[in-house]
Amino acid sequence: MLSDDAFKKIDREIAKYPADQKQSAVMAALAIAQDENGYLAQETIAAVADYLGMAPMAAFEVASFYNMYDLAPLGRYKLTVCTNLPCALSGGVDAAEYLKQKLGIAFNETTPDGLFTLKQGECLGACGDAPVLLMNNKRMCSFMTTEAIDQLLTELRADLRGQAT
Partner 1 sequence: MSFQPILTAGLDPATGDATWHLDDYVKRGGYAALKKIFAENITPEAVIAEVKKSSLRGRGGAGFPSGLKWSFMPKAYAGAKYLCCNSDEGEPGTFKDRDLLRYNPHQVIEGMAIAAYAMGTERGYNYIHGEVWELYDRFEQALAEARAAGYIGQNILGSNFSFELFAHHGYGAYICGEETALLDSIEGKKGQPRYKPPFPASFGLYGKPTTINNTETFAAVPWIINNGGDKYLELGKPNNGGSKLFSVSGHVVRPGNYEVPMGLPFAELLKMAGGIRGGRRLKACIPGGSSAPVLPAEIVMECTMDYDSIAKAGSMLGSGAVIVMDESTCMVRALERLSYFYFEESCGQCTPCREGTGWLYRVVHRIEHGQGRPDDLDLLNSVTDNIMGRTICALGDAASLPVRSFIKHFAAEFEYHIEHKKCLVPPEVQKEGSKIYVRPSC
Write down the least CB distance from residue 161 to partner 1, Å.
Answer: 25
Check binding of 6 to partner 1 (CB under 8 A). Answer: no
* Residue from the set 21, 42, 151, 154 that interacts with partner 1 by CB under 8 A: 21
Check binding of 144 to partner 1 (CB under 8 A). Answer: yes
Name all contacts of 25-29 with Cβ < 8 Å and 24+ positions apart: 25/52, 26/52, 26/54, 26/58, 26/59, 26/62, 27/62, 27/66
Q: Which stretch binds partner 1 (CB under 8 A): 1-9, 37-45, 92-100, 150-158?
A: 92-100
Rg (CA), the chain: 18
Closer residue to partner 1 (CB): 16 or 113: 16
SS (H, E, C) 79-90: EEEECCHHHHCC
Q: CA separation (Å) from 109 to 72, 106, 148?
A: 12, 6, 22
* Residue from the set 137, 153, 156, 157 that interacts with partner 1 by CB under 8 A: 137
User: What type of residue sits at position 42?
Assistant: Q
Q: Which stretch binds partner 1 (CB under 8 A): 1-9, 65-73, 109-117, 155-163?
A: 65-73
Write down the least CB distance from residue 115 to partner 1, Å.
Answer: 21
User: What type of residue sits at position 129?
Assistant: D
Q: How far apart are CA 84 and CA 100, in angstroms?
A: 17
* Residues lying near partner 1 in the complex (CB under 8 A): 16-18, 21, 23-28, 30-31, 52, 54, 58, 61-62, 65-69, 83-86, 88-91, 93-95, 98, 121-131, 134, 137-140, 143-146
